[in-house]
Amino acid sequence: MPGLLLLVDLDGVVYRGSDPVPGVAAVLASRAAKGDDVVYVTNNSMHYRADYVTRLTELGAPVSADRIVSAPRATALYLREREPAVRRVLSVGAGGLDRELRDVGLEVVNAGFAAERMAKEGLDGVGAAGRPDAVVAGVDPQLTYLRIAAAADCVRAGATFIATNRDPVYPTERWIRPGAGSVIAAIEVASGVTPVTIGKPEPLLMEEAALAVGRRAGEAIVIGDGIQTDLAAARRVGARCVLMLTGVTTREAAAALPPDARPTAIAADAAELERVLGTLR
């Protein structure tokens, strides 16, 4: 019998900002040693897989690059597997997104490059980006008016529009910054086209994460701290969910969930997570 399939959220579960959540990495290491498949799922749209491998290894969590299925990685896998006609992509996002898209063989034109050409050469977004087959958008810390214009031009001209995720905000340790959803909303309004969304609460990120170890998302136990993201995504794919109280969700908020929307279990810390996982098959 195979071990459990654990799809583990990162921020608010394994770490909180720059601090580890005590004991969680060790629980995951012991579950992996017993044969569970551990895959990490995060909506963060800015980083490359190798960044997480370094960080998780330092924390003592079981990890390899193929076990990191971030929203950018899932987006790249989705394009490779389900949109094989897409070759050239306009990306509105950070360097990690571009690298993930290039890793699966896509030709990537960053919106910053296209915007510069629009300004200097008097081109529209389609010409400046070289007529891309798809537009992929996430958090772009260098977002400008012309980058939005480039993306909207391409989408309006028929490029497939993909959102890494639609989180409205991106909380950092000091600030609440606009999330990918804010960037995508601008392109959506300007183009009149609603994108395909990869990240939580949509099911595609979970499906790609399960596929990364040759399994189905419906078998998974999602371990996450977000009601609107992790728990919602688990429900969408028919997976179980251990809702952690180590991040954004309070015990009161978890208790207030209607009976038909409750997680499989709630865990306040690593010890409770370990106990809960011990009861699941």
**Binding residues vs Mg ion (CB under 5 A):** 9, 11-12, 225-226, 247
Write out the H or E segment, with its range, that includes residue 106.
Answer: none
Closest CA to 219 of 232, 227, 208, 210: 210
Residue with tokens 């017993």: 34
Write out the H or E segment, with its range, that includes residue 241.
Answer: strand 240-244
Q: Assign residue 44 a region (left: φ > 0; alpha: ψ between -120 and 50; beta: otherwise).
A: beta
DSSP reduced 3-state for 222: strand
Whole-Å CA distances, 10 to 208, 222, 224: 16, 11, 8
- Give DSSP secondary structure letters for 23-64: THHHHHHHHHHTT-EEEEEE---S--HHHHHHHHHHHT----
Q: What is the CA radius of gyration of the chain?
A: 19
Residue of closest CB approach to Mg ion: 12
Instruction: Copy the structure tokens of residue 210.
Output: 């399960």
Least distance (Å) between residue 126 CB and Mg ion: 37
Residue with tokens 């995720």: 165
